[in-house]
Structure 1
């Protein structure tokens, strides 16, 4: 009978990301080592554009454009899905771009090393900045997804910016932010309990 069939609950994938305050701390802390500083800048850039490592490494000046209103953007096909991502540039992402190659289309924008080297530098940067989590470059893309959703940007726009093949991929970030809101509310209620007890006693 159907009553004996166990309900199998599908777990939401755990998307590791950094918080807004951690990203702010990263922005405010230049690093003396040149390679680690490159890792810091490109991690911030990916946190503000949603570009994965492969797409950041493939970024060339031809992928950067300007609208008739003077707003800069990136238009690039994602290496993983071949879906076009259209990303209006955050001013800080634009400032980072301008530190590198934005004119010679024979060279990429960022002089990024191979993946393993950059991952090592990102991990070292996390340690240097006192991050609790074991930092990896892909956390930058996840951070973009969660931070933009938290900021109230429509999920359809985020899907376009992230180059997702369908809205289901983006929906995962909504589930992550919903859980965060729930846990924040739980903590708020826990803090209010002692206060409520004092009021009742008074």
Structure 2
């Protein structure tokens, strides 16, 4: 209403707190993958969680994942090509063997027979509740959720294994590299390994 001639908040800055993203280590992920589970609901949830760890897809994207999202590319490999529910950014993800294996396992699963979807995903609430149970039986003292799977893909599965951050950004469907750089911050182990490699190269000179 032009009652004041200056904006009293013009020099006010809002600071952003650094976010801590929980991830699973290689050993923890392996423990979940290899755990013998007799209870069917937990075994299914485990498989879907592991699938997310090897594709980086979010819960909502896995929920809508169908045959139309699978494409055979010129390289002969099968890819997932999907627009993210959250941002509508396109993700192009080559299927890793572990993810492929899980899709194969549920090809004729009765609960999704005749449906377009590829995996028998429960509600997010139920998934996270069962994942907590899964964490307990695997002896992992972390609050395991479907979102942790996406973080684990970004760090433990890709960045830690030398996949360039630009590639990880594309796989996750991020519109900005800044978003992906949040994951790079948590990789002290990777920094240590890279510096060791540098040290050995410098010693050879």
Normalising by structure 1, what TM-score?
Answer: 0.80
Aligned positions, number? 177
Aligned 8 A contact 2:47 2:102 in 1: yes
The offset of 1:119, in angstroms, is: 1.0
Q: Counterparts in 2 of 1:53-202, with a 5 A limit?
A: 53-101=59-107, 106-147=115-156, 148-178=158-188, 180-181=189-190
Unaligned runs of 5+ in 2: 1-13, 194-205
Normalising by structure 2, what TM-score?
Answer: 0.79
Q: 1:32 aligns with which of 26, 35, 38?
A: 38
The offset of 1:29, in angstroms, is: 1.1
Post-superposition Cα deviations, 1:86-123, rounded to whole Å, max 9, x if no partner, equal: 11111011000111248x88421111111111111111
Unaligned runs of 5+ in 1: 1-7, 186-202
Q: Pairwise CA RMSD of aligned residues?
A: 2.3
Aligned 8 A contact 1:101 1:107 in 2: no
